[in-house]
């Protein structure tokens, strides 16, 4: 277990500066163009792959950082550059986490490399959980996976929505219902290999923000995958379902489902993304306030502006500390006894929204135009109180955890 420290070591500082350089030199200059185009920025992803930033090795190194700070530092710096492009670079990670959280060692070694490809032929992956009638309410999921014992194959049917990289991914990770009577406890995750018949992209969404990140429906129509594409394997699934049925009879403890295992592991990383957006907007506003002259003096000389900036900086730093605490706890094997992962996601998401809004206010009319980046940052920040668990769901998780009661 690593001791918690506020001082980054030399390797961590070098990593932070390296990623920051890429964000400043490659991501930021391309941000406005790809936001307008609303397309996946393949050339930028390829540049990231060429330097090893978009690769399994890079994320594995950060994942196994004993302090837990490798992933949140990387996320903050990339999203400081631009959220839409950064999400295109890191979106594959959610599918990878899905495999890491639920898969066997063989599945991890087989499928995660195929999610990234290589510098000459980059690939992306998609994690497919949400459905048109099942977002936060995972128990309402309708996508079914039925086992064909004679062929040792799983047959999947249903529609997924809000899938990052959905339809354009090389590998899809799909959460489906295997036992409807168990509700959210009757779910399992499946690998859909490249070019599997029956999987198709549905509607591609035109979004308010994070426009450079591809978001679409994924339609599964009689998709057949081999038995070994069930993450964790059939024996483990049968044991888990048997325990869930027994506990359901007794009205006993909750059993984690496949989607929730992925989201719990990824929430501090998503929170770090929001911190990066908020920090970027704060820095733009601070620079602007120092140079914008009104009534013969810089506007930062006015308490009304200076106090806003003080609050913005405080919010950003507080959000980062919550992210670092949750990340360190996860790396140290400490349980989130007070829902610390959800705390980090809740506070960072709300901070990104409020700080970007304040930045627009400080820039005045300029902040409302696309000549300045805070307008885009404000649009990008809006999603962070919605995806991977809305702020309301985070509050529910925290309230249930600290109270020990089933709050509805």
pLDDT by 10s per residue, the chain, length 408: 556 677 888 999 999 999 999 999 999 999 999 999 999 999 999 999 999 999 988 988 888 888 999 999 999 999 999 999 999 999 999 899 889 889 999 999 999 999 999 999 999 999 999 998 876 667 789 999 999 999 999 999 999 999 999 999 999 999 999 999 888 889 999 999 999 999 999 999 999 999 999 999 999 999 999 999 999 999 999 999 999 888 877 765 454 555 555 556 679 999 999 999 999 999 999 999 999 999 999 999 999 999 999 999 999 999 999 999 999 999 888 989 899 999 999 999 999 999 999 999 999 999 999 999 999 999 999 999 998 889 999 999 999 999 988 887
Distance CA 384, CA 114 (A): 28
Q: Are 318 and 347 in contact (CB under 8 A)?
A: yes
List, in sequence order, the alpha helices (H) in 333-390. 340-363, 374-381
Distance CA 49, CA 41 (A): 13
Distance CA 408, CA 399 (A): 10
Axis crossing angle, helix 303-331 with helix 70-81, rounded to the nearest 10: 140
For tokens 């930021």, the residue is 28
DSSP element (H, E) containing 68: none
Q: Are 80 and 10 in contact (CB under 8 A)?
A: no
Distance CA 116, CA 57 (A): 10
Neighbouring-strand partners of residue 155 = 146, 224
Q: Are 54 and 7 in contact (CB under 8 A)?
A: no
CATH of range 258-403; options 3.40.640.10, 1.20.140.10, 1.20.120.530, 3.40.50.1820: 1.20.140.10
Q: What CATH class does 10-121 carry?
A: mainly alpha
- Computed on alpha carbons and rounded to an integer, the radius of gyration of the chain in Å comes to 22
Neighbouring-strand partners of residue 225 = 154
Distance CA 3, CA 1 (A): 7
Quick one: pLDDT at residue 255? 46
Q: What are the residues whose beta carbons fall under 8 Å from the beta carbon of 137, sequence distance 6 or more?
A: none
For tokens 């911190």, the residue is 275
Residue (of 286, 351, 298) closest to 323 by Cα position: 351
* Half-sphere exposure for 379 (CA within 13 Å, toward CB): 20
Q: Where in the chain is the domain with CATH 1.10.540.10?
A: 10-121
Residue-level length of the chain: 408
DSSP element (H, E) containing 141: none
Axis crossing angle, helix 340-363 with helix 391-403, rounded to the nearest 10: 140
- Record the pTM: 0.91
The backbone torsions φ and ψ at residue 336, rounded to the nearest 5 degrees and listed phi first, read -80, 75
Quick one: pLDDT at residue 3? 65
Q: Where in the chain is the domain with CATH 2.40.110.10?
A: 125-250
Axis crossing angle, helix 105-116 with helix 92-102, rounded to the nearest 10: 170
Instruction: Please indicate whether residue 388 is annotated as part of the active site.
Output: yes
Quick one: pLDDT at residue 64? 85
* Half-sphere exposure for 348 (CA within 13 Å, toward CB): 35
Quick one: pLDDT at residue 1? 53
* Half-sphere exposure for 374 (CA within 13 Å, toward CB): 26
For tokens 């048109």, the residue is 132
Q: Where in the chain is the domain with CATH 1.20.140.10?
A: 258-403
Strand runs (DSSP E) across 138-245, as ranges? 144-148, 153-164, 171-177, 187-192, 199-204, 215-226
Fold type of domain 125-250? Butyryl-CoA Dehydrogenase, subunit A; domain 2 (2.40.110)
Quick one: pLDDT at residue 205? 97
Q: Which of 77, 350, 375, 388 is catalytic?
A: 388
Q: How far is CA 285 from CA 292, 310, 330, in A?
A: 10, 11, 34
């Amino acid at each position: 277990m690593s001791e918690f420290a506020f001082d980054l070591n030399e390797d961590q500082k070098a990593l932070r500066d390296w990623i920051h350089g890429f964000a400043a030199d490659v991501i930021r200059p391309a941000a406005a163009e790809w936001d307008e185009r609303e397309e996946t920025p393949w050339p930028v992803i390829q540049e990231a792959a060429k330097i090893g930033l978009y690769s399994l090795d890079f994320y594995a190194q950060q994942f196994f950082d004993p302090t837990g700070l490798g992933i949140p530092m990387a996320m903050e710096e990339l999203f400081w550059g631009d959220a839409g492009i950064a999400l295109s670079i890191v979106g594959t990670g959610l599918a990878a986490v899905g495999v890491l959280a639920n898969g066997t060692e063989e599945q991890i070694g087989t499928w995660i490399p195929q999610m990234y490809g290589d510098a000459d032929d980059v690939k992306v992956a998609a994690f497919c959980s949400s459905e048109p009638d099942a977002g936060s309410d995972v128990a309402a999921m309708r996508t079914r996976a039925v086992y064909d014992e004679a062929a040792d194959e799983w047959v999947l049917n249903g529609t997924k929505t809000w899938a990052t990289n959905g339809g354009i991914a090389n590998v899809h990770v799909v959460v489906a219902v295997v036992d409807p009577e168990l509700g959210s406890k009757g779910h399992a995750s499946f690998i859909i290999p490249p070019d599997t018949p029956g999987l198709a992209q549905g509607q591609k969404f035109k979004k308010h923000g994070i426009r450079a990140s591809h978001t679409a429906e994924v339609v599964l129509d009689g998709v057949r995958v081999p038995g070994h594409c069930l993450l964790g394997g059939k024996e483990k699934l049968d044991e888990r379902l048997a325990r869930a049925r027994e506990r359901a009879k007794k009205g006993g403890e909750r059993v984690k489902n496949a989607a929730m295992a992925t989201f719990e592991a990824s929430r501090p990383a998503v929170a770090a993304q929001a911190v990066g957006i908020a920090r970027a907007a704060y820095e733009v506003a601070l620079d602007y306030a120092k140079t914008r002259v009104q009534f013969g003096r810089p506007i930062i000389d006015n308490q009304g502006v200076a106090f806003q900036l003080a609050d913005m900086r405080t919010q950003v730093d507080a959000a980062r500390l919550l992210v670092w605490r949750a990340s360190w706890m996860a790396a140290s094997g400490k349980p989130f006894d007070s829902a610390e992962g959800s705390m980090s996601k809740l506070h960072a998401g709300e901070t990104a929204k409020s700080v970007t809004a304040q930045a627009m206010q400080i820039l005045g009319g300029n902040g409302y135009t696309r000549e300045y980046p805070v307008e885009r940052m404000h649009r990008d920040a809006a999603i962070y109180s919605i995806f991977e668990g809305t702020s309301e769901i985070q509050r529910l998780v925290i309230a249930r955890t600290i109270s020990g009661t089933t709050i509805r």
